[in-house]
Structure 1
């Protein structure tokens, strides 16, 4: 462990030119074949309205095993699957409730949100789609035998949401050994929220959304199993540095990156050694990194390797 960390820190300080092409990283999420998993961002959201059951269905139709979603809370305490803190972009809330600006999720009851059309904005074929509750969403994921990357969205707006989410997951059978071992990850931009999840349910794997400095990674490794940065902030050196640390469950930290929608970018970050790629276009990324992937060449000290 000590040797791994020292080597990774040295590499991170020297920069990407000192990095050889990464070896396969067999973590809890990755298959272990050296190629990253593909995760459908808010479901297959390039092809169906995001965070709806239709987007889950589309991901299943494409053969995608992992789906990502966002969870927030209504005024009366119901957990719903929605990305934005307000309802304007992905529903017809301004038409249904014109006098309720600024249309924050937490200002509406579950029954009011259930009245909204969450599909017409995407296209007429999805008119009438609804904002699902977390229970509905989890049941659809289970129906398709998929896996779930659940994001706690805006936890600072919803005190205690971590415990509520875990209660729903427990009631739906998602906290048994089979699910927590390889079918569930809870992620957030809030380190405090992830610490709370880890304290309440130590068996649940968690992912921090962001790119903490390498010197801070030992602290994150106490409660996070993944470090999940945007693709624009990644480098081979950073991925290698993250992999050098063991997380709370005794396995090397993983890296999932977001949101990648082109084949070229997918191949590039796959070459960095990431464990997973979160994408609105899972078919495009899958073709790029799994069915048709050759490791890209990297320049190392003036010579080319991996070509």
Structure 2
């Protein structure tokens, strides 16, 4: 094996190469990211939107998404998204390899113009694309049986009871499934790492030797034979260094920022803006360094194993005769400064300016409402009268409750499909009469204080809420939805709650049935994940999981005069972030905290809102800065 693959030797070489090439690599990385963000990604989004438009439907539930992906248009959507992602990753690496291949050496010099630099990349575009598709196809074939095994494990071990029982109680079946999933994940990781080593040289072979994709993969496997363990060690070192650098930069910046804000004032706009610029620079630097390091590593391994220079040396040498070294250096330095200025403008000033302008628009939307999730489930058993009373006592605007039917058709409050988690009874609600349900204790699991708490009916819940709090009624559809939708709308009408509630569900079919039975009752679609434009649903509100909610969803919904409700939020930082985005309703597990932060946001002046927005972008809350000052 070639002794130059010794990790210490390779590391020294990488440092030397980076010192020579960091300017050129930075220019390419910045330009590539800008082109991808402002040209390539929008074009891909347009293509995917066209496919979704042709499909004529929007998928929000897991089953809907699964069924869509199995359809011809759904398969085309998945292939398009996966293929473009794979090709973009390879194109970025290929561009850096071209820059590295023209490294400044005594026999060569950096190229004077961008045209000569891009020629090898553009001429290899289709071969690079085919390489990405071939890699993706092999990985898909490899992952298919493992994913099928994971799904079979889920069916065997995790379907006897409601999934929330397994996630909350974590019985033996949960740990058996976790062990099986860990083994499958480890198998996929090992296989993926093996292929990463086997395919490491395929891209430079395609780029520099103009071999087709299939031949390049075969050539790469042949050349790394006998050096796999050393290459794997080098890749492991690269991964560890990248992760370690990111962790160190994040922790160091967080600590320094919290201390500065605690000492100098966390409401200083210049200080917050300066910290935001530094944070963005550190994130960009860590990403650039990681991308550059892997490209430098691939090139060095390729050069050492192949044992000869590739054709780009001749191009670089001819360029050297056309431009003196000092002119090239000046030109390169100028481009670095321009690239840095463009990056700062696009990635920092534009978002900050957008958020500042957003403050006035958000203020005109009125007070953000707070919904207590499943009642105040942090302080009382969920979906009980005690939890609803707690939500009333703390001053929440809404209480969210989950409803479905007993065997004899009574609408009661219960989240899960069965009663295993809250009452220790494995039977499904649809298999039990209301009289049997009333005998079960659904409070002792939470605390002895709530022993002998019973499952309430929807009628009881609405009577408790009358003139005190509005109600978000979620339809839990575990079968045919028409009977449940009709029963709920009938109860809402009988109790006179049409203008004091909203009915939500994951099932668009159930909401359409609510519309048919009673058009005056507001309805909202619940979105945990989705494929397609959720604003195409005929609803009055969107109830979206926080990490899936986009600014485009908010903008489109509010243009259509629809409420935007957000769930899955925890802690001060996440709640403040959603307030800043301009949502209409916070569905919070800790409604007391949400109310306190909502009131602070409502009473803040424009300057204070700008300060809070900058703090959110920095990921720093008032609690953390106060804690930092106390610990100092």
TM bracket, shorter-chain basis? 0.7 to 0.9
Contact preservation (8 Å) 2:481, 2:510: no
Taking structure 1 as reference, are residues 231 and 216 closer, same or farther at Cα in structure 2, changes over 3 Å only?
Answer: closer
Q: Do 1:236 and 1:273's aligned partners in 2 also have CA atoms closer than 8 Å?
A: no
Following superposition, the deviation at residue 231 of structure 1 comes to: 0.6
The answer as to 2:549 corresponding to 1:234 is yes
User: Which stretches in structure 1 are left out of the alignment for 5+ residues?
Assistant: 1-9, 27-31, 94-101, 247-251, 300-307
CA distance in 2 between partners of 1:158 and 1:238 (Å): 27
Residue 174 of structure 1: how far off its partner (Å): 1.8
What does the per-residue CA deviation read over 1:193-215, in whole Å, with 9 as the maximum and x for residues that have no partner? 11111122111111100165564
Aligned equivalents of 1:216, 1:171: Cα separation in 2: 31
Kindly state the Cα deviation for residue 270 of structure 1 after the two structures are TM-superposed.
1.2
Equivalent position of 2:558 in the other structure: 243
User: Which residue does 1:76 correspond to in 2?
Assistant: 408
CA distance in 2, matches of 1:156, 1:197: 16
| TM-score between the two structures when normalised by the length of structure 2 | 0.39
Note if 1:259 corresponds to 2:568: yes
Note the 1:23-42 alignment, pairs <5 A.
23-24=361-362, 32-33=365-366, 35-42=367-374
Using the TM superposition, give the Cα deviation of residue 160 of structure 1 relative to its aligned residue in structure 2, in angstroms: 1.5
- What are the within-5 Å matches in structure 2 for residues 1-307 of structure 1? 20-21=354-355, 22=358, 23-24=361-362, 32-33=365-366, 35-93=367-425, 102-142=426-466, 145-154=468-477, 156-175=479-498, 180=499, 183-210=500-527, 212=530, 215-217=533-535, 219-220=536-537, 223-244=538-559, 246=560, 252-291=561-600, 294-295=608-609, 296-297=612-613
- Residues 157/86 of structure 1: CA separation in 2 closer, same or farther (3 Å cut): farther
Give 3-state SS (helix, strand or coil) of 1:297's partner.
helix
Give the number of the structure whose residues are more often helix, by fraction: 2
RMSD across aligned positions (CA): 2.5
CA gap of 1:25–1:73, structure 2 versus 1, over 3 A, is: farther
* The structure with more strand, counted as a fraction of residues: 1
Deviations, residues 243-262 of structure 1 (Å, cap 9, x unaligned)? 22x2xxxxx01110102231
TM-score using structure 1 length: 0.77
Maintained 8 Å contact 1:36/1:274: yes
Change (3 A) 1:66 1:113: same
Q: Where does the alignment leave 5 or more consecutive residues of structure 2 unmatched?
A: 1-41, 47-346, 616-632
Q: Once the 2 structures are TM-superposed, how far is the Cα of residue 158 of structure 1 from its aligned partner?
A: 4.8
State the 1:289 CA deviation.
2.4
Preserved CA contact (<8 Å) 1:43 1:52: yes
Give me the whole-angstrom Cα distance separating, in 2, the residues matched to 1:39 and 1:297: 23
Which of the two has higher C-alpha Rg? 2
Cα offset, 1:236, TM superposition: 2.5
Displacement of 1:108 in angstroms is 0.4
- Cα offsets for 1:7-62 (capped at 9, x unmatched): xxx9xx79x98762331376xxxxx43x4211000101111000000001111111
* Aligned 8 A contact 1:85 1:154 in 2: no
